[in-house]
Structure formats: structure tokens, C-alpha cells
Amino acid sequence: MTRELEKRVERLFRPEKLIITREHAFVRVKSIVYFFAKGGKSFAVDDSGKKHPITQNLNTLQKAFGSSFLQVHRSFLVAVDRITGIFNRFPKEEEEPAGELAIEGLRRMSVFDIGRGVEDECELALKGTKKRIPVTVTYAGNVKLAFRLKSLHHLVPEHPDDKKLRLYELIDFGWRELYDLDPKDQAAVDAFKARWDIKQFTRVRMLTYFRQVQVNRIDKRRVIKNIIYQMFRWIKKGIEPLSDGNIRSLWYRIKAVLAYHSNILEPGDVDTFYNTLQEMVEDKNLFRYKDFGFMDMNEPYRGIGTERPEIILASEKIGHYLFIRKLAAEVGASFICLKGEPAIISLEYFSDELFEACGDRNKTVFSISDIDPAGYSIERNLLGGLERQGHKIARVVKLVDPSVFTTEEISIIRYPVVGFQQKGDTITPQPPARMSQVTKSRDWFSQEIKDDRFLSEKDKGGGWKVVTIWGIESDAADRAIIQKRFLDGLSQEERRSREKPLKRR
């Protein structure tokens, strides 16, 4: 028998071979889905999910079974004929990943070469187990060689979240271990944190990951970004406790551990911490304040309706609390009082409560705000904040607007928002106003108010005129008129939705 024929016979009968376990049992090779090593011991996992402790190490197994098993990670050998798909590096257990390719599909695609940089880390799906087996860069070549592929990139597209994190200079330390980590296994959790907790890195290790460009110093802002992101990931996994509700307490929690290990932060860095956290939540949308368990100080000044929670009565002033709470309760609507510009954390909590009460039903907002640039800005930011949280605002009704007041009333109760001198296109703010305030107020008047009763001009001579833009506080409006406009607006809403009329109690 020739050597080549011997090899063919060996390959033919190899699946029928038996492996003896440490427990003196026998496992047929063809039933093994993958081998793995952990804690200095090796195991075989069969298609029933049972783990068999074995005596051979992975190197010995690889030599023994040749092309039948493929090393894809320093701790994993997988059965080649059980590979059913290649996936991106951020699998989600609750969803079937897009783009599953059968083996024949993999082979057909092997003729393509997209000719661009490749992130070879990926995950393999295997017939006989739900667990996805990691493929690291070191062993990715084995996968490509086995299926005659020049690139895995067209099979494993870069995950958009991965790219987003990388461009923002975030490192998801130990992400693969975190994915498989059991939060209830405290020993495993402690060992994982000992390896990957950034707060416990030494200065030398900090420099390895967070060195400033061309300078032998640590980029503290980048460290803070990564610590915040890591804490979010660990809280979500359930291996890190929520904050005590106070943002400043979180800062001290971070600073105290860093001080013990690397001591890179100073008292003045607290501003960097606050600014970075705000940027990550409000600009980058990486997570929410609520995810950290921060307390909403505005909680007492909002409520969810029992009958029509999708109807929202909102005021920019805490002083309207008793009035709008009673008004909302009369019709079973929701309400919220703001302390000026709406806090993002308040909108997070309020938004989730709305979703719980009425799902994704369209929302109608009845708004009480000052008739001035600030009041209109607060209203816009409230609406925009709810929309960013996922709500659809179908209708907005202003309960206080210029039509509430007569011309005589306006002349009596109005107050100056901003004053400036103007000559042709030249504008000079009148102290204490700044040019930015003048620009904002002029835009507000020309684009939103468009009512000459809120603007006055006086001739100063020499081609100059003194211009004043006026405003009115919402407290000046008769509350009986506000109540009537609200109830009339609800009647219109009933006709629009063709629902059962509300009971006015």
C-alpha cells in the first residue's frame, strides 16, 4: 500500500476512532464538535453538549487528527466539517446573525478578493453547539487556508459599533471573555477584573494603551473615556454595581482606585470627567445617564397619565407644578415641569415611563413656556429630547402665545429681552447684551414670533435707531384661559383620533 493510499484510508476511518477520557470513558471522534483547553486541562465537547476531560493537549490532538480539526484560537480546535458560518465579532444571543453562509457558499466565494485591510478576528458557528468559537488573528490564516479564502472581510463585515468605538479611541478590554462570563461566578468575575480593570492598571500599562502622541505621557482624557465605557459595559453585564445616584460619587469611585494603582488624576480633572461623560451620552449616544443609575432630581415634578398617557402637559416652570398636575389629573394625561432647559436624565426616565404606559403611540404635547427666546428654546429641546428617546410627536399645542394677550396687556406686562443699536446693516449690542444674544433674539422674532407688538424702535439720530425686542413670562397668562385652551385642544384631539370622548371630572 502506497503512502498516499494510507493517508486516504486514515482520513476515511479517522471519524470512527475513539478517544479515552480521564474518566476512562470512550468518545467517538465523529461526535466531537470541538476541543478546548482551560486551566491547564483539555476537554472534548460532543454534539450533546457534554464536556469530556481528556489527557491529550491541543498540540497532540492537532497532530493526531490533522485536517479533520482546525486550530482557530490558542484554546480551541474545531471540527472542520461542522463549521456552518462565520460571523462578526459582536454576536447577540437574542438574534440570528445576518449573513450566515453554508460551507459550499464559503467555497464559492473563495474566488473573490476585495483587496482591502482585514480585521480577521471573528466567530465560528458549529453544527452541534450554540456556542460560537472565537477566531483570533494568529489563527485566522488556518480558516482562510481551509476554505481557500484570501480574505474573511467579505464574510465578516466590520461591525458599525466596532468602528465607532475604534474611531472614538475606545478599547473594549477583554470583550470576548466578558461575553462568556457568568456574573454569578464570583471567582471568575474577580479574576476577569484583575486582568482587565483599567482603574487597576499600573502607570507602565497605562502608557502601553494611552500614551500621548510623540510624548511619554498618559492621555488622561482617553483614560477617563475608556474607564467610563468599561463601567457601562460591566454594569450592563451585571458585574459592576450601579452608582449611588450621584455623578460626583462616581468620580470619586474612579479616582480612589486610580490613586492607589497609577495615581494619574488630579482634582482639576473632575471637569474633564464631567465633560467626557456628557459628550459620551449626549453627543456620541454610546449609552444613557440612566444606565449608571444616576438619580433624577426632577422626579417629583412629573407624572404619567392613567387614561391618556400619550397626552403630555408640559411647563418650563416648577412654579406651575400644582396647576398642571391638577389639570392633567382631571383628564388622565401625563405632565412634566422643567427647571428651565430639560435635563437629559429627566427625559430618559420620563421617556421610559411613557413607553411603559402607552408604547410607541403618537404623543401630543401641550406646552406652557415664556414668550421669549429662552422659553421657545426650552420647548424645542423638550420635543427634540423626547424624539431622540424614540417618541413620535404628532402635534404640539402652545397654551401661551401672543394671542392670549390683548395689545394693551402686552404693552403693560412685556419686558425687554435684548436691546441694540442699528444703522443699516451695522448692529451694536446695548450692554449687558452680547452680540450672540442679539442674533438669537432677532432670529426668534423674525422666524417664530413675527408680531410687531414684541419689537419697538426709537430714532437716535445720525441714521441710528435703538431697537428693543420684548418678551412675556407665561405666569402673566390667565390660568382660566390656559385651562380652556387645554380642554379645547383635547376635544380637537378626540375628534382627530375618533376615540371615546374623555370624561371631564
- For 92-96, 291-295, 492-496, which range has the lowest pLDDT when averaged over its residues? 92-96
Specify the amino acid at residue 475. D
Would you state the pLDDT for residue 25? 87
What are the CA-CA distances from residue 50 to residues 31, 72, 124, 129, 309 (Å)? 11, 21, 19, 10, 51
The answer to whether residues 258 and 126 belong to one domain is no
For the segment 245-260, the average pLDDT, to the nearest whole number, is 86
Domain of residue 199: give its range.
Answer: 175-292
355 pLDDT more than 90: yes
Of 34-38, 89-93, 154-158, 494-498, the range with the highest mean pLDDT is 34-38
In a domain, 26, yes or no: yes
User: Distance between CA 225 and CA 239 in Å, rounded?
Assistant: 19
Query: What does 250-292 look like in DSSP terms, one character per residue?
Result: HHHHHHHHHHHHT----GGGHHHHHHHHHIIIIIS-SS-GGGG
- For 64-73, 253-262, 271-280, 477-486, which range has the lowest pLDDT when averaged over its residues? 253-262
**C-alpha closest to that of 344 among 403, 259, 397, 283:** 283
Confidence of residue 110 (pLDDT cuts 50, 70, 90): very low
In a domain, 213, yes or no: yes
In a domain, 262, yes or no: yes
The answer to whether residues 261 and 181 belong to one domain is yes
The answer to whether residues 189 and 206 belong to one domain is yes
User: Distance between CA 309 and CA 307 in Å, rounded?
Assistant: 6
What are the CA-CA distances from residue 318 to residues 330, 358, 479 (Å)? 19, 25, 15
SS (H, E, C) 442-473: HHHHHHHHCCHHHEEEEEEECCEEEEEEEEEC
The 10 Å CB-count burial string (b at 16+, else e) for 42-72 is bbbbbeeeeebebeeebeebbeebeebbbbb
What are the CA-CA distances from residue 401 to residues 323, 333, 367, 471, 491 (Å)? 18, 22, 10, 11, 19
Tens of pLDDT, residues 358-413: 998 999 999 999 999 999 999 999 999 999 999 999 999 999 999 999 999 999 99
Rounded to 5 degrees, what are φ and ψ at 486?
A: -65, -50
The answer to whether residues 364 and 485 belong to one domain is yes
CATH number reported for the structural domain that contains residue 488 in this entry: 3.40.50
For the segment 344-349, the average pLDDT, to the nearest whole number, is 94
15 pLDDT more than 80: no
Would you state the pLDDT for residue 158? 66
Specify the amino acid at residue 49. G
More confident residue, 39 or 90: 39
In a domain, 217, yes or no: yes
Average pLDDT of the chain is 86
Residue with cell 459595559: 233
Alpha helices, DSSP H, located in 339-478:
344-358, 373-388, 407-413, 435-444
Contact 183, 134 (CB under 8 A): no
User: Distance between CA 336 and CA 346 in Å, rounded?
Assistant: 10
User: Distance between CA 54 and CA 22 in Å, rounded?
Assistant: 5
Q: CA Rg, the chain, in Å?
A: 33
| Structural domain count of the chain | 4
In a domain, 2, yes or no: no
The answer to whether residues 67 and 154 belong to one domain is yes
The answer to whether residues 280 and 305 belong to one domain is no
Domain boundary at 292, 314, 338, which?
292
- 96 - beta bridge partners? none
In a domain, 142, yes or no: yes
Contact 39, 58 (CB under 8 A): no
Domain boundary at 292, 322, 345, which?
292
Would you state the pLDDT for residue 492? 82
Tens of pLDDT, residues 111-166: 333 333 335 678 888 999 988 898 888 888 888 888 887 777 667 766 677 778 88
The answer to whether residues 388 and 313 belong to one domain is yes
Would you state the pLDDT for residue 505? 40
Rounded to 5 degrees, what are φ and ψ at 241?
A: -75, 155
Rounded to 5 degrees, what are φ and ψ at 7?
A: -65, -40
Tens of pLDDT, residues 462-500: 999 999 999 999 999 999 999 999 999 998 877 666 555
Sheet holding 41-46, edge to edge: 51-54, 41-46, 32-38, 76-79, 69-73
Domain boundary at 292, 310, 335, which?
292
Burial bucket for residue 91 (CB in 10 Å: 0-12, 13-18, 19+): middle
Rounded to 5 degrees, what are φ and ψ at 322?
A: -60, -40
User: Distance between CA 152 and CA 122 in Å, rounded?
Assistant: 9
The answer to whether residues 341 and 206 belong to one domain is no
The answer to whether residues 395 and 313 belong to one domain is yes
**C-alpha closest to that of 377 among 432, 410, 340:** 340
In a domain, 256, yes or no: yes
CATH number reported for the structural domain that contains residue 97 in this entry: 2.40.50.1020
107 pLDDT more than 50: no
The answer to whether residues 340 and 487 belong to one domain is yes
The answer to whether residues 332 and 188 belong to one domain is no
The answer to whether residues 117 and 207 belong to one domain is no
In a domain, 502, yes or no: no
